[in-house]
Structure 1
Amino acid sequence: MLDVADVRAARERVAETARRTPLEYSHTFSERTGAEVYLKLENFQRTGSFKIRGATNRIATLSPAEQEAGVVTASAGNHAQGVALAATRIGVDATVVMPEHAPISKLKATRTYGAEVVLHGADYEAAAERAHEIEREEGRVYVHAFDDEAVMAGQGTIGLEILDERPDVDVVLVPIGGGGLISGIATAIKARRPEARVIGVQAEGAASAADSLRKGSISEWEHVDTIADGIAVGRVGDLTFEVIRERVDEVVTVSDSEIATALTALLERSKTLVEGAGAVPLAALLSDAFEYEEGETVVPALCGGNIDLNTLTTVVMRGLVETGRYLKIRTVLEDRPGALRRLIDVLAENRANIYAIQHDRTSRDIAMNAAEVVIDLETRGPGHVEGLVGDLRERGYEVEILV
């Protein structure tokens, strides 16, 4: 099984390519939770993700013959970029197979770092099958995204950095997809501070590790569904599962709504952009997904910041809805002069800001003498939304909340 000596040995190799990322105290999230919260900002890492650490360590340990043969891997995006950059830096040819619907930003970045990209399949598992075919056909070395001890050791250097700055850490929160990141971090943390808790966090729609721990054996999910595409993996690794079972204290899950809320909070309060997988640890803290004592030192590992801009728009809007900052309603008015103005006056009295209005007199779903109105509103929180909708209904408007 992976040993802390492997992580320590990886540290020097990883330092050649990867950055030492900041560990920043968050006044906002400390006040909100009662814990002493330090954010491990791995989203500031080269390639925008922790994956460069494991890829660098694995490729650095290749023999000369293996380097000559080249490498191949499969990835939804972050591991792809890590392998591409790590291979390019030492002159190793790299082919990366990505799912057909991989985020465009990650696809372009992987090519920019020097790898040949092959698009195949709907998910990571399908991409991995094609990558193994290329491995056999071309004699390349397969660099696994997580189920490889050299990769796990490289990721574990994050744990060493956390301990260097916060040797008194009580809880480390780590996202889990295939399990490579948490295996490395847990190995590093437990070796130097065994009393610290390492808690894994998964999205509810891709919770194979949590499911596997409950069952006592690896559970494979045929379908995963989450906005956290970086951890949208249907099966935890064989090697990583053994490390998780021995060294991880607990694995919890969070919903996509909770992930969106955490991502939005990081943007607004910490001015920090993360992808869905990067927001997962903070989502667990903000949603009370696990128990902790007031004043404990808690470190959420924000593992990456490579979010597609189209996805970001959707996730931020979801976060605003969840926090009562955005509201979309539908109502029906009598088709008479002044009816829309009176509705707008009610909204103004309640200090709701209008983003957009759609006024339709031709809908077949309403009476001939009526008009359907759909309004997008900026609101100030759940209490404001409740008061606004209540006032509208008291004044006789039949209000349907659309978002």
Structure 2
Amino acid sequence: MYPIAYTDVLAAQDRLRPHLDPSPLRHYPLLDALVGHDIRVLVKHENHLPTGSFKVRNGTACITSLTPAEAALGVIAASTGNHGQGLAWAGAQLGVSVTICVPEGNNPEKNAAIRSYGATLLEVGARYDDAAHACATLAVEQRRTLVHSTNHREVLAGAGTMTAELLAQAPEVDAVVIALGGGSQAVGAVVAASSLKPSLEVFAVQSEGAPAQHDGWHDGHLRTGIAARTFAEGIATGSCYPLTFEALRLGLRDFVLVSEDAIAQSVRDLWRITHNLAEGSGATGLAGLRRLAPRLAGKTVAIILCGGNLDASRAAIIFNGGTPR
């Protein structure tokens, strides 16, 4: 069973329509040549959405689903950046107060972006898990609605609008390769595909430095509190999540790991070929497709450039040929 139905995705799509335009889906022949195996590669440019990430879908779906009483009290969430930005942007559009808890030393550029939308930003704890714990406590104290970046039905419904949109733009797509952190994109994809195109193969990719979800998917055991060491903070997940775990086990065609070097190379390749700046998680789909290419020979495959919020310090390392550590 999936945690949401396709009707939830449709409802989210209706609520998002006044606020968000569809993101572009583009074909780059040079990416076909790079990947090889006679694969036609399509890029879903979620980096062109407000805040530069697909997470604005999730945040807007959540904010627009609040009751008047909930909206008056506001929302709170833990984030390392993109989830917080998505909620902050949506809150600004709809006049809802947003508080975001981030770990100390979080990406300063993402912190600045969250604040720029009028949200209150609190730096608490050394790790994301610490920020999430503090966030849960504050939610009770302040009577705010807690919006988890993954364990939230409206987050999953908002993420599902991406694949529903993709299949309307290119119904011929055979497979989609998705970077997986918490799993909202991937669960949204399998839910949308189950109604719109059951033959669509959904593949997930994670960094070798953050393998908790991957390892749990393969052996069927939820992981929690596993160290995550990857420069791709959007997929730096050290735990599996109850709301998405079984759905991922049921709906994914496969789940693979890629190296940090492969992710950095994919950032460079996407810039060189598409002239779009991808953050680490935004380039992970391409890295995964290159690993999966022999299995997808001759097919039309979409990759998701899910975020473009690469900070300047990491960009300097990557474009000088290195990999951030």
Report the TM-score, using the length of structure 2 for normalisation.
0.95
1:283 corresponds to 2:287 = yes
Q: Which residue of 2 aligns with 1:299?
A: 302
What amino acid sits opposite 1:310 in the alignment? S
In the other structure, the counterpart of 2:84 is 80
Distance 2:19 2:38 in 1: 36
In 1, distance between residues paired with 2:5 and 2:210? 28
Query: C-alpha distance in 2, partners of 1:219/1:299?
Result: 29
Q: Hey, what's the Cα distance between the residues in 1 that align with 2:302 and 2:6?
A: 20
Partners of 1:290 and 1:131 lie apart in 2 by 41
Kept in 2: contact 1:124–1:233 (CA 8 A): no
SS of the aligned residue for 1:205 comes to coil
SS of alignment partner, residue 99 of structure 2: strand
Question: Is structure 2 residue 129 aligned with structure 1 residue 125?
Answer: yes
The aligned runs of 1:1-400 (5 Å cut-off) are 1-32=3-34, 33-286=37-290, 288-289=291-292, 291-318=294-321
Q: Report which structure shows greater RCO (CA 8 Å, sep ≥6).
A: 2
CA deviation after TM superposition for structure 1 residue 290, in Å: 5.8
In 2, Cα distance between the equivalents of 1:306 and 1:293?
A: 29
Provide the C-alpha distance between the structure 2 equivalents of 1:60 and 1:82, rounded to a whole number of angstroms.
Answer: 12
Task: Between 256-265 and 181-190, report the one with greater CA deviation.
Answer: 181-190
Runs of 4+ in 1 over 6 A off after TM superposition: none
Hey, what's the Cα distance between the residues in 1 that align with 2:297 and 2:205? Answer: 20
Does structure 1 retain, via aligned residues, the 8 Å contact 2:101–2:121? yes
Aligned to 1:354: none
CA contact (8 A) 2:212 2:226 kept: no
Partners of 1:317 and 1:226 lie apart in 2 by: 18
Q: Deviations over 1:190-221 (max 9, x none)?
A: 32111110001111111211111122121124
Structure with the higher strand share, 1 or 2: 1
Aligned residues: 320
Could you tell me how far 1:131 is from its partner in structure 2? 0.6
Secondary structure of 1:187 counterpart: helix
CA distance in 2, matches of 1:274, 1:230: 11
Query: Shift in Å at residue 222 of structure 1?
Result: 2.9
Gap runs ≥5 in structure 1: 322-403
SS state of the match for residue 272, structure 1?
A: coil
Identity %: 36
Structure 2 unmatched ranges of 5 or more:
none
Q: TM-score, normalised by structure 1?
A: 0.77
CA RMSD after TM alignment: 1.5
Distance 1:310 1:66, change over 3 A: same
2:85 aligned partner, one-letter code: Q
The answer as to whether partners of 1:273 and 1:305 remain within 8 angstroms in 2 is yes
- Structure possessing the higher radius of gyration over alpha carbons: 1
Q: Helix, strand or coil: the match of 1:311?
A: helix
